[in-house]
Amino acid sequence: IMTQQVSGLLFFKPFFQKTPVRVDSPLQLRRHTLPASEFRNLTPQDAISVFEIEREAFISVSGECPLTLDEVLNFLGQCPELSLGWFEEGQLVAFIIGSGWDKERLSQEAMTQHVPDSSTVHIHVLSVHRHCRQQGKGSIILWRYLQYVSCMPGLRRALLICEDFLVPFYLKAGFKEIGPSAITVSNMHFQEMEYTLCGQAYARRNSDC
């Protein structure tokens, strides 16, 4: 579900009842024009911010990043519509990057490929800025992302791989375990998880898509 800009109606008063006009400084004007919270697709211009958050989150835990900077740029160039970023006052605080996939299970090739017009979205990475963790933001952006891709024609399911300690997080979000993944990174092994998307008509009726 993408954040929508809603403009309010202006109710005019007679001139003599109007309050004095306040002139803001350029800094104040800039601050006022930034939305407090915004969800939107990522672009290649966001790649550096994405990679910095990803690197800090994953290198400290596993020593490996799900996506290199070149891969981030590649996916944001090929399929930006399968990404979602959460911005607060213009700063990226959480994101998801996905790509299209056309086979029943994820394979090593799925880590670097995007298959257009497919029925499966492969979620490569979900990450939250270190200053925003333990606030439920990971669950919120995942829920919004799943609702968003449910509105996309043709998409029927989402797949991802994760380490064992993250399985309960994704189960709580509605994913189910498929089993051990064929994908390995260094000496790391993963579980493959699947989420059945609710379908375009259902999502539009229940989520204002």
Distance CA 161, CA 179 (A): 10
Cβ contact 135:90 at 8 Å: no
Of residues 43, 46, 40, the one with CA closest to residue 3: 40
Cβ contact 158:37 at 8 Å: no
Give pLDDT tens digits along the chain (209 positions): 433 333 333 333 333 343 444 444 445 545 556 678 999 999 999 999 999 999 998 866 666 788 999 999 999 999 999 999 999 999 999 999 999 999 999 999 999 999 999 999 999 999 999 998 889 999 999 999 999 999 999 999 999 999 999 999 999 999 999 999 999 888 889 999 999 997 544 444 444 44
Q: What is the DSSP letter of 186?
A: T
Helix (H) or strand (E) holding 126: strand 120-128
Strands 157-162 and 176-185: unpaired
Residue 41, pLDDT score: 98
Residue 187, pLDDT score: 82
Region for residue 65 given its phi and psi (left: phi exceeds 0; alpha: psi -120 to 50; beta: otherwise): beta
Residue 199, pLDDT score: 58
Residue 8, pLDDT score: 35
Residue 43, pLDDT score: 97
